Structure 1
Amino acid sequence: MKITPNNKKTFKIILKHLNILYLEDEKNIRKNITETLNLIAFKVFDVESINDAIKVLEKERINIIISDINLKEENGLSFIKSLREKYIDIPIILLTAYTDKNYLLEATKLKLVDYLIKPTDFNTLNNSLNKAAEEIYLNGKFIINFSNNISYDVLHKTLFLENEKKELELTAKEIELLDLLIENHNKVLEYEIIKDIIWKDSIDITDSALKNLVNKLRKKIGKDTIKNISGVGFKINF
C-alpha cells in the first residue's frame, strides 16, 4: 500500500493508526493535551514519570513520543538522549518552557521532529504530528487496512482491531505468510513458491498444510482478503 504524503488528509489517516507515548508531570497540562491527542491518534499512553514511560515502551507498540523536558524531579533531556540511542527512528516531539539558546542547541542534536515552547496550541501541535506522520511514511513504516476494521502494522508485525483498539495475536508462520503476500500484492504467488519460502527448512510440505495456514490467517484478516486462484496460487487484496 502506498500513500502519497502530500496533504493533511493523508497525515490524518496515518495518525489514526498510530500509538503515542506522552510524558508530562503536570496533571492539568497532561489531561488537556491527552484529550487533544485522543482525537488525532489511535491510542495515547499518557504518563507522569520517566519510569512509567519506560514501562510503556517495554510493553506497547509506540510510534511517536511526545515529552516535556521540564520535569520536576527528573532530567527529561537526559531521558530523551537515552531514548534516541535505543529507538533511533521513532519520531520525538519535545515540549518545554525553556527558551535558553544553549539548551535548545543541545536538544536539536537529538534528531527531533519538533521542539515546541509551551504553552502550545492545537494547530502547532497538530502540525508537528503531521511532520511525524510524514517521517514515519518516508521511513517505510505504514499500516495496511483490511476489511472489518482490521489493520496490520508492517513495521511492528502486529494486527489489531480498530473499533476495540485490540491487538490480535499472529503466529510466526502467519506473520511470514502475511508479509510475503503483502510484499507481492500486485501478483499471484504460486503455491510452491509460498511453501518453499515459509517452510524453507522442511521437505514434502503438503498442499493441505498451506491451505490450513491460509485459512487461519483469513479468519483474522477477513475471509475475502486472500484470494485463491485455482491451480495457481494466492493473492492478497487490500
Structure 2
Amino acid sequence: MDKSLISKLSNFSLLYVEDEEGIRNNIYEILRHLFKKTFVAKNAKEAYNMYQSNRPDLIITDIKMPNETGIDLIKKIRKRDSKVRVIITSAYTDLDYMLDATELHLVKYIIKPITENKLKEAFEAFIKSYDDSKVFNLKEGWLFDASKSIIQNEEIEYKLTKKENLFLKLLLKKNRIITYQEMENVIWNEDNIMTPNAMRLFIKNFRKKLPSNVLRNVQGTGYRLVL
C-alpha cells in the first residue's frame, strides 16, 4: 500500500471481527500496522461489546459466525449508529447474503480469500467515503471534521468556534492565501468588527488547535495553510 493511504488510515480506529483463528491472526498482523488502534473480536457478541466501549471508525466483519452473523451484528449497530463505516468479508457469493448486506450501507463487500489488493481497494473506498462528510487530513495524525467542528489527533480533541470552522474551511477550499479582506467579509459580520486586536486574539487561539507550523502568515496580505 502506498504511503499516502497508510498515512490517512493511521488517523482511524478499526474493529476486526473473524471467528476463524488462523485468518484472524494473519489479517490482524496486517491491520495493526495500518490503523491508530485495532480491536479484534472472535464473534458478534464480543464485537458488539467492543464497539460500544471503543466506538471505532471502521468495522470489518465476516458474515458467517456462530450464533449471530456479521449481518446481525451490523443491523444491531445500525439501529443506533448510521455513520460507522463497515466492510464485510465472506467466503460466500450467495445472493441473499449480498442483498441483505446492501441495506447496511457498506463501504465494501470482500469475497475471501482476503488479499492485499482487496484490502487496498476497500480502504481506498473507506477513505473516499469521508469526502462527502467533509473530513480533512491536516497532517499525519491530525484530522479536521468540518461537520462536527473539531480538530483531533491521537491524544486530544479541539472544539472549534464558528469563526474558526469557517476560516479553516475557507483555507482548505481555496488552497491559497486568504486575505485579511476575505477574512473580514466571510468570518466577521456587521455586528462584529474585525479590529487588529480581535484578529490577533483570534489567530492566537486558533493556532493552539492546529498542528505546529501549519498556519502561515503572509506579511501584509493574509494567511495560508502549509500542508
Same fold (TM over 0.5): yes
1:194 aligns with 2:188: no
Q: 8 Å contact 2:91–2:111 — kept in the other structure?
A: yes
Partner in structure 2 of residue 56 of structure 1:
54
- C-alpha change, 1:197 and 1:23, in structure 2 (3 Å) is farther
Instruction: Report the Cα distance in structure 2 between the residues aligned to 1:194 and 1:208, rounded to whole angstroms.
Output: 14
SS in 1 for 2:217: strand
Q: 8 Å contact 1:14–1:143 — kept in the other structure?
A: no
Instruction: Report the Cα distance in structure 2 between the residues aligned to 1:236 and 1:218, rounded to whole angstroms.
Output: 11
- TM-score normalised by structure 2 residue count: 0.71
SS in 2 for 1:21: strand
Instruction: Report the Cα distance in structure 2 between the residues aligned to 1:200 and 1:26, rounded to whole angstroms.
Output: 60
SS in 2 for 1:215: helix
1:108-157 residue CA offsets vs partner (Å, 9 max, x unmatched):
44443332345534443344323433x336546553334xx562334554
Q: What is the one-letter code of the residue matched to 2:168?
A: L
Partner in structure 1 of residue 126 of structure 2:
132
Partner in structure 2 of residue 152 of structure 1:
143
Partner in structure 2 of residue 208 of structure 1:
197
Partner in structure 1 of residue 171 of structure 2:
181
Root-mean-square deviation (Å): 3.6
Q: What is the one-letter code of the residue matched to 1:39?
A: H
Q: What is the one-letter code of the residue matched to 2:50?
A: D
1:161-206 residue CA offsets vs partner (Å, 9 max, x unmatched):
4xxx32342332543432332233323232x542454454843453
- C-alpha change, 1:204 and 1:130, in structure 2 (3 Å) is closer
Instruction: Report the Cα distance in structure 1 between the residues aligned to 2:170 and 2:38, rounded to whole angstroms.
Output: 31
SS in 2 for 1:41: coil
- C-alpha change, 1:107 and 1:176, in structure 2 (3 Å) is same
Match of 1:11 among 5, 10, 20: 5
Q: What is the one-letter code of the residue matched to 1:153?
A: F
Unaligned 5+ segments in structure 1 are 1-6
- C-alpha change, 1:101 and 1:171, in structure 2 (3 Å) is closer
Q: What is the one-letter code of the residue matched to 2:11?
A: H
- TM-score normalised by structure 1 residue count: 0.69
- C-alpha change, 1:126 and 1:236, in structure 2 (3 Å) is closer
Instruction: Report the Cα distance in structure 1 between the residues aligned to 2:31 and 2:88, rounded to whole angstroms.
Output: 15
Q: State the percentage of identical aligned residues.
A: 28
SS in 1 for 2:54: helix
Instruction: Report the Cα distance in structure 2 between the residues aligned to 1:39 and 1:158, rounded to whole angstroms.
Output: 26
1:115 aligns with 2:105: no
Partner in structure 2 of residue 233 of structure 1:
222
Q: What is the one-letter code of the residue matched to 2:74?
A: I
Q: What is the one-letter code of the residue matched to 1:214?
A: I
C-alpha deviation, 1:66, in angstroms? 1.1
Q: 8 Å contact 1:150–1:221 — kept in the other structure?
A: no
Instruction: Report the Cα distance in structure 2 between the residues aligned to 1:27 and 1:167, rounded to whole angstroms.
Output: 34
Match of 1:171 among 160, 182, 187: 160
Instruction: Report the Cα distance in structure 1 between the residues aligned to 2:114 and 2:220, rounded to whole angstroms.
Output: 60
- C-alpha change, 1:197 and 1:83, in structure 2 (3 Å) is farther
Unaligned 5+ segments in structure 2 are none
1:26-49 residue CA offsets vs partner (Å, 9 max, x unmatched):
666544433321222333243432
